[in-house]
């Protein structure tokens, strides 16, 4: 550390789960070295001292001050501003807010005055709520297409919903890894919330449909909802135009359908395959809901269709008709 702290104004602090009181004996110690001048070597490294591992990260003071200025200037009323913050920035802001100075302590305390735990907690709660909403929406969209993928997404949505629940009740440490430890600070392990959270942390012995139904209901119980998807074709599919880039090879193994190319294999349900075949026959996206209902007697949401199209784009089958890259959500056209 002495070789890094080259100027009198450099400082150091520790933070992370141990400082928050959530860590365990195997948790690393997170140490941050803040410099006033750029250092031309690695910005992160790990040091083992006996039974402790210390994660060092090198930061520039100007970088932290800019983070604080940007973060504190965000309007918490403007939901979109909050959800655009990278989670890594929320994490660094919070770690600085709860940090304990270990070198040049007075200078660290002066720096720390720019950071506020309560602001971080509120922003993280809104961020986690948005993450839970988005993954819940995707889980709903995938359910009739790929139950396994839907199960993974609803599990992720539940983790973020619990983060929102904890943040709303004063536990804003921004890491879902510690959600059960944070829950214990809020309620007992015998409470209904903790019992359900523990039971539904994974599918376990529940069938896919039973787990999805129970986890979805619990996510909504925690305060997360996305509303009812539109089915009139005007909001998303009515403005969507795609084209087939390459005719895919379809492999049928038993009752499973796979699209195969040189890079990957994509499993499609009968409905998903039907969507692909309908596009190949010239049906436009705005007509897909009616087509699937007519051919398969299945009600399918716009979101479900959009995510099937995104899956097809991921294996190079589709692209926007205007040549827009396939790397992002298709609802912004």
Dihedral sign computed on CA atoms, order 156, 162, 167, 170: negative
Q: What digits encode the pLDDT tens for the residues 248-260?
A: 778 787 777 787 7
> What pLDDT is recorded for position 5?
58
| 11-115, CATH topology level | Beta Polymerase; domain 2 (3.30.460)
CA atoms lying within 13 Å on the CB side of residue 193: 21
CATH class (in words) of the domain with range 237-320:
alpha beta
pLDDT tier, 48 (very low <50, low <70, confident <90, very high otherwise): low
**pLDDT, mean of residues 34-46:** 66
- How are beta strands 52-60 and 29-35 bridged, if at all? parallel
Q: Which of 62, 321, 12, 227 is nearest to 330 (CA)?
A: 321
- Which of 93-97, 101-105, 216-220, 276-280 is predicted least confidently? 276-280
30: pLDDT strictly greater than 90:
no
| Domain ranges, ordered by start, for the chain | 11-115, 123-221, 237-320
Segments of the chain assigned E as strands: 11-15, 29-35, 44-49, 52-60, 100-103, 242-244, 249-253, 256-260, 265-268, 318-320
> What pLDDT is recorded for position 275?
84
Burial profile 23-61: b = 16 or more Cβ within 10 angstroms, e = fewer: beeeeebbbbbbbeeeeeeeeeeeeeeeeeeeebbbbeb
Q: Average per-residue pLDDT in the chain?
A: 79
| Residue 100: other Cβ atoms inside 10 A | 13
pLDDT tier, 73 (very low <50, low <70, confident <90, very high otherwise): confident
324: pLDDT strictly greater than 70:
no
pLDDT tier, 195 (very low <50, low <70, confident <90, very high otherwise): very high
Q: What digits encode the pLDDT tens for the residues 200-230?
A: 998 888 888 888 889 989 998 998 876 433 3
Identify the DSSP state of 262: S
6: pLDDT strictly greater than 60:
no
Q: What distance in Å separates the CA atoms of residue 218 and residue 165, rounded to the nearest whole number?
A: 12
- Write down how long the chain is: 333
Q: Which residue shows structure tokens 């896919």?
A: 208
Q: Find out whether 277 and 256 touch, Cβ atoms under 8 Å.
A: no
Of the two residues 296 and 6, the one the predictor is more confident about is: 296
Q: Which of 221, 220, 176 is nearest to 201 (CA)?
A: 176
Q: Which of 263, 233, 238, 231 is nearest to 249 (CA)?
A: 263
What's this model's pTM, rounded to 2 decimal places?
A: 0.66
Q: What distance in Å separates the CA atoms of residue 19 and residue 17, rounded to the nearest whole number?
A: 6
Q: Which long-range contacts (CB under 8 A, 24 or more apart) does 91-96 make?
A: 91/174, 91/175, 92/64, 92/67, 93/67, 93/68, 93/120, 94/120, 94/124, 94/172, 94/173, 94/174, 95/15, 95/16, 95/30, 95/32, 96/13, 96/15, 96/32, 96/64, 96/67, 96/68
**What is the architecture of the domain spanning 123-221?**
Up-down Bundle (1.20)
Most confident range (mean pLDDT) of 117-121, 136-140, 248-252, 301-305 is 117-121
């Amino acid at each position: 550390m002495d070789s890094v702290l080259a100027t009198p104004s450099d400082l150091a602090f520790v933070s992370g789960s141990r400082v928050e009181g959530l860590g365990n004996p195997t948790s690393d110690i997170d140490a941050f070295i803040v410099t006033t001048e750029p250092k031309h070597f690695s910005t992160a490294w790990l040091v083992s001292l006996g039974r402790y591992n210390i994660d060092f990260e090198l930061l520039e003071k100007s970088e932290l001050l800019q983070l604080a200025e940007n973060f504190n200037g965000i309007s918490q009323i403007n939901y979109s501003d909050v959800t655009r913050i990278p989670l890594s920035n929320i994490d660094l802001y919070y770690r600085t807010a709860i940090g304990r100075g270990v070198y040049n302590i007075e200078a660290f305390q002066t720096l720390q005055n720019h950071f506020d735990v309560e602001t971080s907690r509120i922003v993280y709660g809104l961020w986690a709520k948005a993450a839970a909403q988005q993954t819940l929406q995707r889980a709903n969209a995938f359910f009739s297409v790929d139950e396994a993928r839907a199960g993974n997404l609803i599990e992720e949505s539940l983790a973020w919903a619990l983060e929102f629940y904890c943040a709303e009740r004063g536990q804003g440490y921004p890491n879902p890894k510690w959600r059960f430890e944070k829950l214990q600070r809020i309620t007992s392990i015998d409470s209904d919330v903790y019992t359900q959270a523990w039971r539904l942390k994974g599918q376990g012995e529940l069938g896919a449909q039973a787990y999805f139904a129970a986890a979805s209901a619990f996510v909504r119980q925690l305060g997360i909802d996305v509303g009812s998807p539109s089915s009139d074709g005007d909001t998303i599919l009515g403005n969507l135009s795609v084209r087939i880039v390459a005719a895919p090879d379809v492999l049928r193994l038993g009752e499973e359908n796979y699209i195969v190319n040189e890079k990957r294999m994509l499993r499609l349900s009968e409905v998903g395959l039907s969507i692909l075949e309908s596009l190949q026959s010239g049906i436009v996206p705005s007509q897909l809901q009616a087509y699937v209902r007519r051919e398969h007697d299945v009600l399918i949401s716009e979101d479900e269709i959009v995510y099937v199209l995104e899956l097809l784009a991921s294996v190079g089958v589709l692209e926007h008709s205007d040549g827009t890259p396939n790397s992002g959500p298709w609802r912004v056209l």
